[in-house]
Amino acid sequence: MSRIGKKPVPIPSGVTANVEGQTVKMKGPKGALQFVVPNEVTVKMDAGAIKLDPRNETKRARSMWGTSRTLVNNLVTGVTKGFERKLEITGVGFRAAVQGKNLQLQLGYSHDVVYPIPEGIAIVTPRPVEIIITGIDKQKVGQVAAEIRDFRPPEPYKGKGVKYAGEFIFRKEGKKK
């Protein structure tokens, strides 16, 4: 049994929720989001909360039950608070700057890496070695952070590259003389 799926998703004040068939729509102070719940899970509104239940007792239905509940909860969090991901850049001469609708990255290549900022995502660089990605869609924020990190993932010898804030980089010892 899913322990997380049993809990109904509470809808805070200031957020309007709408369930039409398998589609859950949320509208709040930060924007509007929607999610289509898989067919293995039933969704219904009751008493200021959204309740999800599996249609049958198959393994897939039970696994999608908890997943769907978490994704609906992410809609509520997104339209109220939003999501944020921080990246740190380590390395001599490595830096980032936002120029218009593009993120300009200098990561030790012969050319600058230009990353166009997607719709619905805000990127700020308070310091040249720090990137903060914010948005209301958790999946999109995480995807953008992963794409930026992929331009130069941290290497294990000196730790140079783009890493998530708080990420531990397993360091290796260099060769000995």
User: Tell me: the pLDDT tens digits for 41-52?
Assistant: 999 998 889 999
Residue 94 lies in a domain: yes
The predicted model scores a pTM of: 0.88
110 sits in the region (left: phi over 0; alpha: psi -120 to 50; else beta) called alpha
Q: How many CB atoms lie within 10 A of CB 25?
A: 14
Q: Distance (Å, rounded) from C-alpha 76 to C-alpha 136? A: 9
Residue 136 lies in a domain: yes
Domain that holds residue 68: 3-80
* Domain termination site, one of 80, 109, 128: 80
Regarding whether 36 and 106 lie in a shared domain, the answer is: no
What is residue 155's predicted lDDT score, i.e. its pLDDT?
93
116: amino acid identity, one letter: P
What is residue 48's predicted lDDT score, i.e. its pLDDT?
87
Could you tell me the CATH number of the domain that includes residue 14?
3.90.930.12
Regarding whether 150 and 100 lie in a shared domain, the answer is: yes
φ, ψ dihedrals at 123, nearest 5°: -125, 130
- 105-149 pLDDT per residue, tens: 999 999 999 999 999 999 999 999 999 999 999 999 999 999 999
* Domain termination site, one of 80, 110, 130: 80
Regarding whether 73 and 89 lie in a shared domain, the answer is: no
**What's the total number of domains in the chain?**
2
CA distances from 44 to 7, 59, 105, 147 (A): 13, 21, 46, 36
* Domain termination site, one of 31, 48, 80: 80
Regarding whether 24 and 70 lie in a shared domain, the answer is: yes
Q: Distance (Å, rounded) from C-alpha 163 to C-alpha 152? A: 9
In the predicted model, what is the mean pLDDT of residues 77-102? 93
Angle between helices 138-150 and 59-80 (to 10 degrees): 90
Ordered strands of the 113-116 beta sheet: 95-99, 102-106, 113-116
Residue 146 lies in a domain: yes
Regarding whether 141 and 108 lie in a shared domain, the answer is: yes
Kindly give the residue spans of alpha helices, DSSP state H, lying in 43-98. 59-80
